[in-house]
Structure 1
Amino acid sequence: MSETSASRRLPRPSLWYHGAFRLFWAADSVSQFGTYIGNTVLPLVAATTLAATPFEMGLLSAAETVGYLLIGLPAGVWVAQARQRRLMRRANTLRALLLCTVPVTWWCDLLTVSQLIAVALLCGVCAVLFDVAYQSHLPVLLDRDRLLEGNARLQTSQSLAQITGPGVGGSLVQLAGPAYPVLGTAVGYLTAALLLRRVCEPDLPAPADGPRGSLVTEIREGLRFTARTPTLRAITACTATANFFNGVFSAVQVLFLTSTLALSATAVGAVLSVFGMGGVLGALCAHRVVQRLGQARAVWLVPLTTFPALLLVPLAGRGVLLTPALVGLFLTGFGVVVYNVAQVSYRQVVCPENLLARVNATVRFVGFGALTLGALSGGGLGELVGIRSTLWIAAVGTSLAILWVVFSPLRGMRDFVPSSA
């Protein structure tokens, strides 16, 4: 029996002693840091160096997630049939190569907004494969009664990346220009690929439950399971609605901070990091909060009490009047992470193993497809009604998204029971 297999079976005080998960966690953490640095650097370069318009900023924001619309559904089938860690390594390597084109063209004085959009789009396609694979591979590494703890740790790293990534990215752009931060992000992706290569746990594709059908047939099975499970349907609708308005928000938030509030690149990074600070607290508390409230109850009660805090952001002004935005971002970040830990763990528990990758892909297709459409809408709204009005629309829409889970079977449940799905 391998050391990693034994670590899954013996009682451990912490997942830190699980060697395979520790490497997997480290690789995902490095990838998350790279993603948040990149997601800050590219819009900052577009807004401050290339003088992008609100519509171009919306296109850039949409490009980061449009991959879920392009390949989101077939990605679930491909991941289910692939060696998932190898797929993750290749996705990160390709992201690194794509990002390296940005500093090269910058040094040659050829960088354009169009290139940034193209790089963001192709990196987003790689992110689809990486994200679906990592969510589907976690149950291979951990027993299902430890998934909540594992997801909480992964969310902690993601939230830490949200704190430090924007600040580091913003500071580096201001100090060194766009080339070196992007190059550093590429190195991060390569480092994550090397860490995944060191995981000793067998890297096997999900087992088949019989002869495989066509691509369309397998996609349909994932869609059908998602649509016919009432709790999963409500969660997916809530996530999609919140993501749509988050896309609207993201399309104009950098312009709001740089143009309306006249903040420097470093200050923009610091403000965006506040959302991650709330997320870190949420990740650290998620296991305890979910156990105290119940997994089902946490999915609707936590967003009900935290998502409306985003309404504070459009109230922000210069100087001390920036405080409402900081409070709103912090509370929303806390709620989003606790919600995500609960609902992702739910999918991993109730979905049959042979359907998990396809269901993960379906949920992410709907959720991130909505994020993409929201980003496009946000760019257009920013041009039509102004940046602050667009933020109000985004905040109200995010607050209303919770109605999907509040008025659902989740209100009559405390915890999820796999057999009931």
Structure 2
Amino acid sequence: MTEKRTSLWRHADFRNLWLGLTASMFGAKVMAVALPLIAAVSLNTSPFEMGLLVAAETLPYLFVSLFAGVWLDRSAKRPILVLTDVVRAAVLLVVPIGWAADFLSFPLLLTISLAVGVCTVVSDIGSASYLPLLVERKDLIEGNSKLELSGSVADIGGNALGGGILQIVSAPFAVIINSATYLVSAVFTLLIRHREAPPAQPEPADGQERVGIWREIAEGAVPVLRNKVVRTLVTATLVFNLFTLLIEPVFLIFVTRTLGLEPFYLGLIFAASGAGALVGSLLADRASQLLGVGRAMVFSLLLAGVAALLIPLATQVPKSMAPLLIVPMHFIDAVMVIVYNVNQRSLRTAVTPDRLQGRMNASIRMIVMGVSPIGAVLGGLFGGWIGAPQTLVLGAVGILLAGVVIVLSDVREVKELPDSAPVTV
């Protein structure tokens, strides 16, 4: 049992992939602090322009994901991962150069953010699709847990690191450090020795010279639409994300206005979420071993829903006691979210043929990112209509419903991941 848990640390190729992705995650956190600060302080941007800059980070997921999935399935993934790191490093260097030469402007900064965002989408989908080529199917949960561990540490320490760097050097030159982290990521990815077999090219239909990109995109939707396991996971995740985003716009209103808590407690709440994500990444593999993959997902979603449901109860206790309820609930919620994400991502990867990994991941990213603004808008509407506490209850019930989706399916009985990749969906 111990050997299974530690085996991937002795897997040289996985270790290099993990080190590279960890470096890029920390770099992304530095950028998340530096670019808005440059826009706000050095360029004196308006609130609307700041909104555009924030939107530029996720907008490529909606418009680039499907095409990126086809490209990744047509090509060797390792060189593409290296390319995205090198391009991000080069593009970010324009910031300090532009600032020093006095030609840095908001349109240029927005263009840089969009370019980095496009590369991040390709890298995100590519790394998720590359992992099953490096490790065995049975090790996917361990591998995804370790990658989530890096993400959790980056969430906890990355912003603080970015803030510390900005205390030492000015924001434009802090971006140089961000650029360097992407180059470090490229170097570790280059050190991966595994070489992929040439991807099988889709055979053209009768009378056609080559299969078109739209047909390949449609083929990539097959694992999502036809495979019962993947379809169930996507449905549950869609419901979960919709109601989680429904909660987000009203949570701060609930804490600051309904409960009247000071900013100090907000810091505790967000710190608890970061710590919970870290603990969740450490427990995900153990949860699947103890409960089975399917039951671990059911347990994590239902417990996350219960934790979210208890938060509005803070209105029923004295103000001084409210943080004692909210902070632990946020910790538990974050733990369970990571346990669920690691297991569902590993299972959907394990039951998808290697040749469709890129397009499967791209299709799911598209769906997940597409529902995010819908949930946020609905949260704002319900918050104004029925009130923040009631909206929090509605969101918690929705999260419980996501668990019910898996309870009512055969996925709940999945005990472990398959040992080999399927040939067909």
Q: TM-score, normalised by structure 1?
A: 0.79
Is residue 351 of structure 2 the alignment partner of residue 350 of structure 1?
A: yes
Distance 1:52 1:394 in 2: 31
Distance 1:48 1:241 in 2: 39
Partner of 1:369: 370
1:241-280 correspondence runs (5 A): 241-244=239-242, 272-280=270-278
Deviates more, 1:251-260 or 1:131-140: 251-260
Question: Is contact 1:300–1:402 with CA below 8 Å preserved after alignment?
Answer: no
Partner of 2:56: 63
In structure 2, relative to structure 1, the CA distance for the partners of 1:303 and 1:16 (3 Å cut) is same
Is residue 125 of structure 2 the alignment partner of residue 132 of structure 1?
A: yes
Is residue 146 of structure 2 the alignment partner of residue 161 of structure 1?
A: no
Distance 1:186 1:254 in 2: 33
Deviations 1:77-100 (A, max 9, x none): 110111211101111122223333
Report percent identity of matched pairs: 31
Pairs aligned (count) = 405
Partner of 1:6: none
Structure 2 unpaired stretches of 5+: 205-209
Is residue 100 of structure 2 the alignment partner of residue 99 of structure 1?
A: no
Paired AA for residue 338 in structure 1: V
Partner of 1:413: 413
Is residue 26 of structure 2 the alignment partner of residue 33 of structure 1?
A: yes
In structure 2, relative to structure 1, the CA distance for the partners of 1:385 and 1:184 (3 Å cut) is farther
Deviations 1:134-190 (A, max 9, x none): 111111111112112111111111111111112222344456443244332221111
Is residue 287 of structure 2 the alignment partner of residue 289 of structure 1?
A: yes
In structure 2, relative to structure 1, the CA distance for the partners of 1:275 and 1:357 (3 Å cut) is same
Partner of 2:207: none
Distance 2:120 2:284 in 1: 25
Distance 1:40 1:268 in 2: 19
Paired AA for residue 409 in structure 1: S
Distance 1:395 1:122 in 2: 39
Paired AA for residue 225 in structure 1: P
Instruction: Give the deviation of 1:339 after TM superposition.
Output: 1.0
Partner of 2:136: 143
Larger Rg: 2
Deviations 1:91-138 (A, max 9, x none): 112222333333445556776665554433322211111111111111
Distance 1:269 1:228 in 2: 44
Structure 1 unpaired stretches of 5+: 1-9
Question: Is contact 1:240–1:367 with CA below 8 Å preserved after alignment?
Answer: yes
Aligned with residue 222 of structure 1, among 220, 223, 237: 220
Distance 2:96 2:356 in 1: 41
Deviations 1:340-368 (A, max 9, x none): 11011101211122222211111111112
Q: Aligned to 1:66, what secondary structure does the other structure show?
A: helix
Is residue 313 of structure 2 the alignment partner of residue 301 of structure 1?
A: no
Q: Aligned to 2:93, what secondary structure does the other structure show?
A: helix
Deviations 1:234-278 (A, max 9, x none): 3223333444565577789999999998859xx988864543321
Distance 1:324 1:103 in 2: 45
Q: Aligned to 2:193, what secondary structure does the other structure show?
A: coil
Partner of 2:17: 24
In structure 2, relative to structure 1, the CA distance for the partners of 1:191 and 1:254 (3 Å cut) is farther
Instruction: Give the deviation of 1:70 after TM superposition.
Output: 0.6
In structure 2, relative to structure 1, the CA distance for the partners of 1:301 and 1:271 (3 Å cut) is closer
Deviates more, 1:110-119 or 1:336-345: 110-119
Distance 1:18 1:222 in 2: 30
Distance 1:111 1:258 in 2: 37
Paired AA for residue 232 in structure 2: A
Paired AA for residue 120 in structure 1: S
Distance 2:174 2:157 in 1: 13
